[in-house]
Amino acid sequence: MKKGQAEKNVAGKEAPQELRGEPVVIGWGIGKAYMVGRTVQQSGTAAVASISRESVGGEIIRFNEIRDKAHKDYQKLRQDLDSDSVVDSSILNTYEYILDDPAFISQVVETMSVKLFDLETSIRMVSNEFIKGFEAADTAYFKERAGDVVEVCEKLVSYLNNEAGRAKTFAEPVVLVVLRTFTPTDILAYDRSKISAVITTSGGKTSHAAILARSYNIPVISGVRNITDCIKPGDEILVDSNKGVVFVHPEKHVAEEYAKKTHGEEVYRELRAKWDRPVYTRDGIRIEVLANISLPEDVDDAVANGADGIGLVRTEYLLSNRKDMPPEEAHIAYYEAILKGGRGKHCTIRLMDIGGDKIPQFFDMPQEFNPFMGWRAIRIFLERKEIFETQISAILKAGRGHDYSIMAPMVTTLQEWIEAKAFIREVASKLGVEMPKCGVLFEVPLAILEMGMFMREIDFASIGTNDLIQYLSAADRNNSKVNYLYNPVEPAFLRIIRSAIKTANDNGKQLSICGEMAGHPLHTVLLVGLGLRRFSVIPRNVPIIKEIIANISFAEAAASISLIDVIESTDEMLEWLKNLNNRLLGDVLKKIPYVESAV
């Protein structure tokens, strides 16, 4: 079999292929390939999004509306052209002709009405048929028209993708094939119950998209090469991210073998039923295990998994799939749903962490060479306070009668925090409500190294290990080329974490860790030994972390940690950590589902 080319077997079917990549979120899933980042989906066996018969009329109205929008955009562009423009206005006439082509319109309407496919799928399928017809033509002129159809298709779909709050669903399970960097929108823009797995060309284990996928138990493999050569829309795909393998057109016996696997689901259900209560170490120290969430529906999952509270609400996901900033009423409804769903348990609400790979469609962000270290989070807050006043006001109104606190992300200096806290106090004063407890998410090296200076000005602290590691190691967590540098067991990093925990404990401030490190079972003993008493993890990992904690002696773990001062390399630290887990936990980890083989 030639690499990068799909071959056919004797029966004329596509021959099975295996692609490899880097495991990002462990698990397995099977479904039809759905390409993300590709203009036109192929028809035929491609996974499609379905609608109800009652929705057809509304979809037809939307089709007419977006055609009108496209007309106006092309007409405006024609008006803006001057005599020196390199754009030939006749091209715009061609685009408008396609928009009004009776055959194009009728086929899109028929596809929705008869096949009950949604508007985007119908536009893509009809466009694909037009494109194939043009590409089969004998003359260069007609072959070039295929590109015009692609332009119109992308134009129309772009309007659909900017509509607020609409999540695309599918008639069957799909594997998202992301043909660019994996982003959070790639999860939130679709019906998550239909996403079996994700494969992508790039994206690290602690990218925001990977964190969301892990929250929803969606397996992810990154760094897969030759995707477009080997996978077509609609191909049957089986993803085994435990092994980093993607099966394209898997053989029947392979698919059946995977279907029999439970991947520890029975053990997990037992742990979930067991840990709907607080957890203590073997020597009686209470350790809180909180949940990280993004959406109101995540709260039910957190409660069902026995979370002791909500340690992090990623409020920026309220902005996902919206074409404009939601009004205060939408903010209030979002926070009320989360706070009420928490059933009286404490909830820490993080102010919107806009920027990096979480840029709302409507937000005008400057072009930046490194957006993760650019205009982001509290830096936007301090410059655009009117945006955050809406959020803060909504939090304060929704928070009446609830146990909650507010946390600011990406704080670098004490002065930034003092200014931000003063603004929160100002909004609270205007509303006549009590100032809530406020704290800082320490994820910038300069801030955590000077944590002692913050102690007088904060009510609590949290450590965001995901960004902190990438900034300390100068290794982009989305770049698979430098993933080897992104390591939470780097000795220098662990000494910084130990110092931060000690600073908070010495000053009587509660401190949690809400990064991926806290939810990794192989790090639990280490973090308890460092003195951590508040973990904040994805809901699914709550009972797993509690089970490990229940088998740890706090005193023994603390006594073992002094060795990190003499360990010099990451490899040595990794080996020591494995030995520590074996010594203090015995075979407990082997019984825990979903524990990865490597740190």
Distances in Å between the alpha carbon of 420 and those of 318, 426, 440, 501?
Answer: 21, 10, 10, 24
Taking a C-beta distance cutoff of 8 angstroms, is the pair 324, 164 a contact? yes
Taking a C-beta distance cutoff of 8 angstroms, is the pair 443, 464 a contact? yes
Quote the CA–CA distance of 286 and 328 in Å, as a whole number.
38
Written as one string, the DSSP assignment of 429-464 is HHHT-PPPEEEEEE-SHHHHHTHHHHTTT-SEEEE-
From the list 230, 438, 514, 520, the catalytic residue is 514
Active site residue 253: no
Distances in Å between the alpha carbon of 329 and those of 290, 294, 333, 359, 581?
Answer: 27, 18, 6, 22, 49
Q: What number of residues does the chain have?
A: 599
Active site residue 208: yes
From the list 208, 331, 520, 523, the catalytic residue is 208
What is the C-alpha end-to-end distance of the chain, expressed in Å? 35
The encoded tokens of residue 351 equal 């102010």
Dihedral sign from CA coordinates of 412, 415, 416, 418: positive
21 phi, psi to nearest 5 deg? -155, -165
Quote the CA–CA distance of 472 and 130 in Å, as a whole number.
52
Which helix (H) or strand (E) segment is 372 a member of? Answer: none
Q: How many CB atoms are located within 10 Å of the residue 276 CB?
A: 14
Give SS3 for 243.
Answer: coil
Q: How many CA atoms lie less than 13 Å away from 499 in the CB half-sphere? A: 15
Quote the CA–CA distance of 571 and 482 in Å, as a whole number.
16
Active site residues per annotation:
208, 514
